[in-house]
Chains A and B, each alone.
Chain A
Amino acid sequence: MRKILFAGLVSLLPATAFAQEGEPAPSVDLPMADVTKVMTAAVDGFIRPGYDAFYESAGKMTTAMKALCEVPSKANYDAAKGAFRDGAVSWAHIEVVRVGPVIEQNRFERILFYPDRKSTGLKQVQSVLSKVDETATDPATLGTKSVAMQGFGALEYVLAGTGSDELLKAKNSYRCRYGAAIAGNIANVAKELSDIWDAPDGIQKAWEQPGPDNLNFRTGGEAITALLGILVHGAEAVRDQRIETFYKGADKAKFPKQALFWRSENTWPTIKGNLEGLSTLLEKSGMVELLKEKDRPIVAATQAQLKSMIELSAKITPDLEKAVGNAAERKKLDTLLADGKDVIAKLNDGYGGAIGLSSGFSFADGD
């Protein structure tokens, strides 16, 4: 049901006859059945499984941290670091979805506070570790504290930052219990997201069935434009936020310690995870089906370029100092930046143009 909003201070004006020319002309006008099919595939084939998998991996991360706290052995430490890596990569896959419930109530920042140019997170984590604050060892109370000290960045510092050897020194150390609480907090947020997307009459339905009474998308064109937006913004984030944060080119200043997860050497696994997430969404949604035959090669070309980037990201040294300092490694970074730009253009102008956004997706996002 449509809701008419009043400000309580509306001037009441007579409705008068006026000249009205032409039918409404949305930029993207696609058959609703085709849109529903694609949106359903995107939600059921990528978004929901993505959040479910993230919740599951966050649970394993919590279990591994608790095991480390109980028995601080080398094996449990390695297992906790492995679970952190799996959790971060699982998040990287679904992180590309930067719309909907994840950007409400600070959920995104609670999972990952990044970029953090002023090292706000680092300072807060160091501060909470320097004193014993038991409220930081309970996921429920930790979840009410600053977002900068309750997500992956904080857990990485607990596991790989200065003083992480304390994790092996004593059973149920404060540092370890804080780490377990962070993992538990991430799992709590992941469960919220999983539940919200799994509710049959909630956002899942809204995304799959655009229409006049829909809270999110009035038309199929709006829904598909939003889906394309996930891909465009996701590709931009990989290039602009994950790579250019520390490397913008051979002749530019380099900041390897600004890279996400440089301490744990998980920078490239998570960038690879982001790229795989984009590729999976493009594939599982069947967005190619919305294009005319002549335009469909743009999707295959985008996939080929994403595949090339995924392969290349696995070949770059995990040591970020070396990655920006060595000419051969820098060449790989340059290739990633160039390919990233191409992927953005293919999605933005290529796919966007093919569905009716004459000047591309980004140009048409108003302001």
Chain B
Amino acid sequence: MWRGEAIDRRGFLKAAGIAFTAALSPRSLMALERTDAVYASGFRAPDGSFGVATVSERGEIIDRVALPARAHGMAYSTATGRTVAFARRPGTFAMVFDPSRQAEPVMITSPEGRHFYGHGHFSPDGRFLYASENDFDGNRGMIGVYDARDRFRRIGEFDAHGIGTHDMTVSDDGKLLVIANGGIETHPDFGRTKLNVDRMEPSLVLLDAKTGALIQRHRLPASLKQLSTRHLDITENGRIWFACQWEGARNALPPLAGWFSKGEDLSFVPLPEETTLRLGNYIGAIAVNRRDGVVGLTSPVGGAAVTLDAKTGAVVKEETVREAAGVAPAAHGIAVSSYDGQFNETRSKVAWDQHIVRLG
């Protein structure tokens, strides 16, 4: 099973209802009827416009929702069906939509002095949406807290205890917020320029989801100060997998992925040298397939998708995927997309963005 209260395609269809399926084109309906899983991912269309698409397991586009600008990460609530596309940093919007189109979309705008970092996650009951944000004048990462029962009103924020906060997720019991602070300072006045590559401060943090209290923080050793800890996923037994991007010397062979659990130190996976080289010292996305016990990694830099054993970290599979973008748990194995329009076995006339979320 994949993460949380899994619903499959039948569950998605049931939730979507007759009105949704009646509105689909015959081709999209066929794609939906024969898929075991439904995904969502941001994309750029050939005309330069941006949106989010729901996608079948084969990679066929089922439906599209327009976005005002480019999205990055996604969040999905198995409890409510609500899905969120977060603006790419330093964007200031997050679009909450219902893939079955039974509820009107809600546009969240980040408050003054904050922008979204591109990732977020729902609490298990769907009540709260957590978003990684930048307090750019204070140069500190924050976690914005939004009330899903009140049109996603912002009801508070927690200090992420780091800078360059990127991906974040929530433990299955909803008690922990898991945060990847990439350690890279940016400011919207300087676009996407990395302002402190020679003074980075990456860290991985656990917060109490109710109070925001710091439970655990792992800073990286001096030799790995330029290893940006950026993306996360969690296995069934609570092991937190993290994936990194190296900003240091290009001829170094840094560890690019690892894991930890509450109360434990970090463990890095000693990937084979050829795998590290193949990933180009850069992992763009990570996803755990709980049913198969594997972890998927992609690198647009190296043009590679790598599957690891979630228990041992051993490499199970390496594939060449030109401009590899997102990963998500498939019915079996890992679904992979690319910037050049490939999504599993289908090529579409869109550029898929960096992340995929599985809906059902």
Binding site for B on A (CB under 8 A): 1-16, 18-27, 98, 103-105, 115, 117-118, 212-218, 222, 233, 236-237, 240-241, 357-360, 363-367
Contacts and interface: CB of A to CB of B under 8 A. Distances in A.
Interface stretch (B30-38, B51-59, B143-151, B298-306): B298-306
A214 B250 contact: yes
A358 B339 contact: yes
Contacts, number: 166
A237 B193 CA distance: 10
Interface in B268-315: 268-270, 272-273, 277-278, 280, 282, 284, 300-304, 312-315
Nearest to A206: B250
Contact of A7 (B137, B230, B255): B255
A99 to B, nearest CB: 9
Interface in B228-270: 230, 245, 249-255, 265-270
A13 B323 contact: no
Nearest to B259: A11
Given A11-B269, A24-B302, A24-B304, A5 B253 contact: yes
**Interface band, chain B:** 35 or more
Nearest to A5: B254
A11 B309 CA distance: 14
A215 B250 contact: yes
B351 interface: yes
B320 interface: yes
Contacts of A357: 323, 339
Contact of A359 (B191, B194, B314, B323): B323
Given A24-B320, A233-B193, 9 more contacts: A5-B252, A6-B223, A9-B266, A15-B272, A19-B318, A26-B301, A27-B322, A27-B323, A215-B249
A230 B207 CA distance: 39
Nearest to A98: B193
Contacts of B302: 24-26
Nearest to A240: B191
A166 to B, nearest CB: 32
Contacts of A236: 191
A4 B251 contact: no
B267 A9 contact: yes
A366 B312 CA distance: 27
Contacts of B8: none
A105 B198 contact: yes
Contacts of B322: 25, 27
29 contacts: A1-B251, A2-B252, A4-B252, A5-B254, A6-B255, A7-B268, A11-B267, A11-B268, A11-B269, A14-B312, A18-B314, A20-B318, A24-B303, A25-B302, A27-B300, A27-B323, A103-B198, A117-B189, A212-B251, A214-B250, A216-B249, A233-B191, A241-B190, A357-B323, A358-B341, A359-B44, A363-B44, A366-B245, A367-B284
Contact of B189 (A8, A241, A363): A241
Nearest to B313: A13
Nearest to B340: A358
Contact of A5 (B223, B230, B303): B223
Given A10-B267, A26-B302, A240-B191, A215 B118 contact: no
A213 B273 CA distance: 14
Given A21-B320, A27-B303, A364-B300, A222 B250 contact: yes
Closest 10 CB pairs of A and B: A22-B320, A25-B303, A359-B351, A358-B340, A11-B267, A115-B189, A18-B315, A25-B322, A359-B339, A19-B317
Interface of B: 44, 70, 72, 88-89, 118, 137, 166, 189-195, 197-198, 220-221, 223-224, 230, 245, 249-255, 265-270, 272-273, 277-278, 280, 282, 284, 300-304, 312-323, 339-341, 351, 353-354
Contact of B224 (A4, A5, A212, A365): A5
Contacts of B341: 358
A366 B301 contact: yes
A367 B353 CA distance: 10
Nearest to A24: B278
Contacts of A216: 249-250
Contacts of B166: 367
B221 A8 contact: yes
Contacts of A5: 223-224, 252-255
B268 A10 contact: yes
Nearest to A16: B314
Contacts of B319: 21-22
Contacts of B191: 233, 236-237, 240-241
Contacts of B220: 7
Nearest to B254: A5
A12 B314 CA distance: 10
A62 B102 CA distance: 68
B271 to A, nearest CB: 9
A233 B190 CA distance: 10
Contacts of A2: 251-253
Contact of B89 (A8, A25, A218, A367): A367
A216 B251 CA distance: 8
A231 to B, nearest CB: 14
A347 to B, nearest CB: 15
Contacts of A358: 323, 339-341, 351
A98 B193 CA distance: 8
Given A7-B221, A359-B339, A13 B88 contact: no
B343 to A, nearest CB: 14
Given A98-B193, A241-B190, A363-B351, A21 B266 contact: no
B163 to A, nearest CB: 15
A218 B265 CA distance: 32
B313 to A, nearest CB: 5
A43 B103 CA distance: 56
A215 B250 CA distance: 5
Contacts of B320: 21-25
B28 to A, nearest CB: 23
A11 B318 CA distance: 21
B241 to A, nearest CB: 13
A118 B88 CA distance: 25
